[in-house]
Structure formats: C-alpha cells, structure tokens
Amino acid sequence: MVKIGDVNTLRVTKETKSGFYLGDHAEVFLPPAMAQDALKLYDDLEVFVYVDTKDQLIATTQTPFAVVGEYAMLDVVDVQEFGAFFDLGIEKHLLVPANEQKIKVRPHERHLVRVSLEEGADRIFGTTKFGKYLESQEFDIAEGDKVTILPVEENDLGYRVIINKKYLGLIYRNEIFTEIDINIAKEAYVKKIRDDGFVDVALQIQGIKNLDASKRTILAHLFKQNGKSHLHDKSSPEEIQRLLGMSKKTFKNSLGMLYKDRMVKINKDGIELSHKKKKT
C-alpha cells in the first residue's frame, strides 16, 4: 500500500513517453525530470508520494524536509488570501491554509510547520496550529531514551526543539552547559513526557548514568592535568561549566562519589588523583 505524504520504496512497473509508473498497479506517476538516466523497468526506487491538483499520485526522488506527522522549520515562498506556500524541499510547495495559521504568515518569514494529511482527500497540507496533534499523539520514546533534537527557537525558558522530527520539546536554560546552535542537530535524552504533549529533554544523561559519565569526565580532566586540578567544591559554576561541561551540582555529586571510592583526594587548593599518574 502506498503511503501518501511519505517516502515509499516502489518498483517501476510501466514506462511511457510521458514518464514512468510505479507500484504494483502502476498507479504512481514519476515525471521524466525525476527519473535517473539509467532507470528501467522493475528497478526499485525510493520516492516521496503526494497527490496533485488532479488527484493523481505523483512521485518525486527529491527528499522533503518533513513527511506527514513530522515537524520542520520552513521558509515562506508565497502568500495568498487562502493561505501561504512553504518550501518543503521538493518541487511542489506545501500549502498552509489561512485557517491553519496560528498567526498570520507573511512573505519571507520562517515558521515551525507540521506536515499533515487531509482526511478524505489524501492531500498533504501544513499547519502551525499544533494543539489537536499534541493532545492525541502517541509516543514511541520513553524517559531516559537517547533522541536527536533540532533546536529551532530560543525563548525565555531555553530552546524549543524538534525531537526525532516527530515531537516538540524544550531544553531549559539552566540545564544547558554547552553551546547551542539553531538548526544544528544534537543528541539529547528524554527527561519528561508532559501531559500537554510536549517533551522536556536534557543534553546530559539523567540519574545515576549521568553521574557515571560525569565521574569519567572528572577523571579524564585530572589525567589531562597530570593528576591534579585547581577545581574544588567552592569553584564557581561558570568555571566548572567551562572546563568540564557540567553543572556545579553534578560536579559536587560526582566528586563525592569519587572521593568515597578513594579515587580522588580533596585538598584546600583543589583535587587530585589518589594514585597520581604522570601523562605518557
């Protein structure tokens, strides 16, 4: 079954002067401009499928920025009374109808858009109204899972992010200990799935796993410093963040565990390895 608004792997089953037809029943049309020079009958092809204005299934080998059910930051290419057209990364632009705009879209703007499928007509459209989708969505992620995030907007609380292209979330400013770049993907961890459909994420592993990773970071720092560092539990949060990329709370908890395990000594002027080893 062909999934409209998604990427499908389809077989070339018919060739005509006007182009190729894909699928078991040759129901998806691939325009000649989208066909590779060496394309031939019975080749398998990865294509994005959509419905055109004549209700015909069209395939493209271009890769869209998002498929149905996914979010992406998209650029406005044209605005009409009935809606705005966005660049989806393929030849066909994505329509966000006027009644699907949370705020009125203007030319040359960039907006966070969800790609959706019109019930009954099988046409894809975009929306900037996310409420009903957030309320009804099902999650294939859980707290503690590693995910890929794309920061898309900075706000007072932190950064709004797209998670695995399918969910919306937030990294809180007071939990950020490294540089964040808009539109540059990063790995993160699910902190909490909220009742309102948003997801809180963190750049650090949560719980005991976070402390284990932080202990290794502190030990690596000590080895790099020939076994001794001026850092201690009175160091400023800014300096700890700059040198180790962690919060002062995490540093103190991890340092306490290392001290308890007799792996480090805590002195007035800093910390050092219990069995100091020179760098080789």
Domain end marker among 40, 60, 80: 60
Tally of structural domains, the chain: 4
Contact in structure between 190 and 201 (CB atoms under 8 Å): yes
119 shares its domain with 95: yes
Mean pLDDT, rounded, for 181-185: 93
Contact in structure between 253 and 211 (CB atoms under 8 Å): yes
84 shares its domain with 113: yes
- Looking at the chain, the whole-number percentage of residues with pLDDT higher than 90 is 52
How far apart CA 269 and CA 219 sit, in angstroms, is 17
Out of 46-50, 183-187, 213-217, pick the least confident. Answer: 213-217
Report if residue 228 sits inside a domain: yes
E strand segments, the chain = 7-15, 20-22, 28-30, 44-51, 57-60, 71-80, 83-86, 94-97, 110-117, 124-127, 146-154, 158-163, 167-172, 186-193, 199-202, 228-229, 264-267, 270-273
Q: What is the CATH number of the domain that holds 103?
A: 2.40.50.140
Domain end marker among 129, 161, 177: 129
DSSP label of 5: T
Residue span of the structural domain in which 142 resides: 136-202
User: What is the pTM assigned to this prediction?
Assistant: 0.73
For 169, list phi and psi in degrees, rounded to 5. Answer: -155, -170
Q: Residue 116: its pLDDT value, please? A: 96
Estimate to the nearest angstrom the gap between the alpha carbon of 255 and the chain centroid. 33
User: Where residue 6 falls among pLDDT bands split at 50, 70, 90?
Assistant: very high
Report if residue 231 sits inside a domain: yes
